[in-house]
Structure 1
Amino acid sequence: MSHTAHIPSHRKPRRSASKLALRAGVAGGVLGTIAVAGAAGPANAEPVTETIEMPTLGSLDGVTGIASAVAASAEASQQEALDQNLRSREDAALQTASKEAKKAKAEAERKAAAERAEKARLKAEQERKEAAERERASRDSVRTQLTSTSTSDDGGSSSSDGGSSASQGDSQTQAPSGSAAAIVAFARAQIGDAYVSGGTGPNSWDCSGLVQAAYKAAGIDLPRISYEQSSMGTSVSLSDLQPGDVLYWGSRSGSYHVAIYVGGGKYVGAQNPSSGVVEHTMDWDTPSGAVRIL
């Protein structure tokens, strides 16, 4: 519908030729009837005074009103369609907004859960580190106590070191002293640690890494590799061992495993990934030989 349809025209509506002819015909017929009646009547008859109303243009105005009503109805229908389209768009926008809100809520909950999991992991990691620190501090305390005790006894025992090596019966049970005590104390303090190839502590070791660290606790530097460690010092018999001696498996210059003799027919070593650092008797896995470096 034109946007100017509702503006009334300043021109007088034109009447169609057919409508004008119809009206003229009706008027002519009426006038003719009156004339015939007058001629046929008596001469002294009363003149006809009855007024006959002519058809008017009211019917035409009614048609115009109907057209206006139809136009108004069409405009109302168009407006209703526009309103319905607007409501449909609003409903679609609300549904989209609802979906986006649900998606944002789900994402926020996922991020919150991830943050809680990360906090829990960090807390567990911190607790594990603190427990490891406490365990290490406890080992250091034991090691310091053993070292202090052995150092205080070093003066009286040093003179007897030569005689103890001559007595094979006492070599399996004698208490370590001096540097040997520090080496033995360090090795035993690591029992229960993990075995890791290439490990040099403080909580994981391989066999030569543990031997090197134990000797370093006594102020003695050893090579890092097992066959180099077994090549040092003096070769000793397994029946003449003293605490602190280095045991080896394989040949002296080509050993593949080393450990520390701790006295009482036992040794401590970083055995393997399944056992870790353990203490065993000599007959559990008899070594090939031993060297004395002290």
Structure 2
Amino acid sequence: MAVAGKPVWFGRVPVAAGLALALFLVPMGGAAADPRPTLAEAKRKLAKLNDQADKIVEKYNQAGEKWKKARKKYKALDGDLARQTAKVADLRKELIMMAVSSYQYGSVTGWEGLINQGDPGALLSSMAAADQMAAARARYLNAFDEATKTLRDNRNQAKAALSEADKTRDELAGEKAKVEKMVRAQTKLLNELGTYQQGDPNSTGMKYNGPASGNARTALAFAYAQIGKPYRFGGTGPGGWDCSGLVQASWRSGGVSLPRTTWEQWSWGASRRVPVSSLQPGDLVFSHGLGHVGIYVGGGKMVHAPQTGDVVKISPLRSGLVGAVRP
């Protein structure tokens, strides 16, 4: 029984204090907090994100290439339009001058002017001059008509090209937003796992001492020199790379011009594909789905730019390779 004015004790803790402590320890709403994902769960989620990111980044790169081509096409057509506009303006001036001259000095092509010529030689000369002026006028008129038609065509083509460029620019912006969202998710998970690697944009990498020769050796030497630099989506160097950007630049140093994206590189190498079982250093190795590409270095390994939060490095070949290309 409680004594008036004194607390009731449960063991060594007052009952009132015990209730308060219990209320403090129970989360609001009475539900237990969601447990943090385990290390294994976080890694599985990250692997899934990385696989998705490979494909999204390559779509972004594809949109970027499409935008560049559309912009280049528009600029070329716009240049043609400017030149054609100047040509039409010059022809217009010539026609105006001919019209003014005809008005000021009278038309020698009128029969009245020709008949009044008393000298037969002068009459024949006037007729020849009239023919020449008529022919010249006809040439200018035809040239003006053709130039004006070409001008209209060029204007329409340039307008269509500009519309295409605007459309691809919007497409590029949409893909960029998707990539940035994915990168934020990857970065958050990597920071939680404590495995985010900043990389060094000024890394001098490593020296290649493998068995490759010729342009393959040059390409691998370039790729090895990038080791330690950060992965950056859309990166084409020199301070950061994505997978296809690294491959393109490495083989460019070896004198081979590759397209920008993994899909284009795979398509480019249609006649140069080799079995994965017959890989040689310098070969391009493509992951299933064409979301990733690296350069084979021998010994079952490749040099590549993996994904956000990682650096250019040498890694074991990924499982599920779709194939290889020998530039």
TM-score, normalising length from structure 2?
0.36
Q: Which has the larger radius of gyration?
A: 1
Name the structure where helix makes up a greater proportion of residues.
2
| Higher RCO (Cα < 8 Å, 6 or more apart) | 2
